[in-house]
Structure 1
Amino acid sequence: MSHIVLNPLLQYSQHDLPGGNRCRIKWDLRQPPCSSAQLIESDQTLSDTELAQHATHPPLNTLQIICGVLPFEWPIIAQNPTGVTIADVLQAIHQTVMVQIKQNEYDALSLKQRNRIAQIFDTRWRASLEPRTIWSFGVLRVDCLLNHTIFAGLTMTIEGTDACIVSLRRVN
């Protein structure tokens, strides 16, 4: 199998980048990526050209994204028949975490986890511009991330696979 390399915009870095970031993209998963993801160098929203760049070289039609912070195995899969793009990756992550958690999933969490998630949910809906609407959607998967909602980049798993791991960091 050929060696797969992530686009430098998506790569996790072990070294601090400007603003304490670990990736060249600054994005809070709770926000729509195409309107809020920014380049750390310029604080400018990613351009259509940047979002259209392939996520990997060589381009892959499917990229599985693993998030070890989520309490359940909710698959994150970016797909594009012409090659997965940066926009596809960010959108796949966002769409996965913005889904309402099922009651049986919530019930399977420990009491401590449920209490912490409930606090995050309460803070999120109370701070929104439309609290009743947000409250009506209920607890989302993103609430299970607690305060770890800042995108910190991707790391490829084993050479030759179509999977990578997403790193997240805490909101400052």
Structure 2
Amino acid sequence: MPTRRVHFAARDTVHQLSTPSPAWSSTSLPSTPGIQTPPNLPATLPGPTPYHFVLPTKVARPLPRHPQPHPALYGPPPSVHYYCSYPPQTLAVSNRRLSPYFLSEPATNPPVSFMLITSPHLPWTVKVNSSRFGVVTVSDVFQAVYASLRKNIYPSEFESLAHHDKKRVRKAYEERYRRIRSSREADQEKSQGVKRVDFLMGHSRFMGLTVTSDPTVWSIRTA
């Protein structure tokens, strides 16, 4: 059987292995069948996105403000004395200190171009339009209320009332024309029959307006 001999070099030789460049390139690194392990890079926070994302600007909208009534319309009681069964011209008589520009002032602050007036005692709605410059004035309110309540009612509207309410409406109608001093004018008023104002059942004193949840709709108070 042949004998094997081991030969040692006469001097120590150091072999240095060359390390490939850590650049990530398919041409610089030798191809190996195994999975390549990426180099250990220092951990850093993610940088800014290359796309600029801007939140949409919100347009500031003013808070809704309910209009406030003129002192002549605010109550109870308002600063003027008025009965809805009389024409608005009587305001100058019952309010001696009434300024000539008082009735021409805006009915609300801020001003409005139209108003709707309701009452829990009336099945009708009073619509107030502007008479000048697109602004409803104090005079417009009184004129519209008076004109609307001066309208005659239909027999069906009277018959829709309860029995005790019919008696109260009839009494208000009789008291209304009997207050007229001129017998001729009283007879003329009597002949025109029951009007909407009689549905207030004698509570025709104006006590002011209050705004509802709808800033265009107001509720009238009477006493």
In the superposition, the TM-score normalised over structure 1's length comes to 0.82
Separation in 2, partners of 1:149, 1:127:
14
More helix by share: 1
Which has the bigger relative contact order, CA under 8 A and spacing at least 6? Answer: 1
For 2:219, which of 146, 165, 171 is the aligned residue? Answer: 165
For 1:2-151, what aligned pairs fall within 5 Å after superposition?
2-13=65-76, 22-33=77-88, 35-37=89-91, 43-44=95-96, 46-70=98-122, 72=123, 74-80=124-130, 82-128=134-180, 129=182, 130-151=185-206
Segment drifting more, 75-84 vs 136-145: 75-84
Contact 1:153 1:168 in 2 (8 A): yes
More strand by share: 1
Q: Percent identity, please.
A: 26
Show structure 1 runs of 5+ residues with no match: 14-21
Runs of 4+ more than 6 Å apart: none
Number of residue pairs matched?
Answer: 155
Counterpart secondary structure, 2:101: helix
- For 1:150, the aligned partner's letter is R
In the superposition, the TM-score normalised over structure 2's length comes to 0.64
Separation in 1, partners of 2:177, 2:114:
34
For 1:72-126, what per-residue CA distance to the aligned partner results, in whole angstroms no more than 9, with x for missing partners? 2x11111115210000011111111111111110111122111121122122223
Show structure 2 runs of 5+ residues with no match: 1-63
For 1:32-81, what per-residue CA distance to the aligned partner results, in whole angstroms no more than 9, with x for missing partners? 11x112598xx3174431000000111110111111122x2x11111115
- The structure that has the greater radius of gyration is 2
Separation in 1, partners of 2:115, 2:93:
22
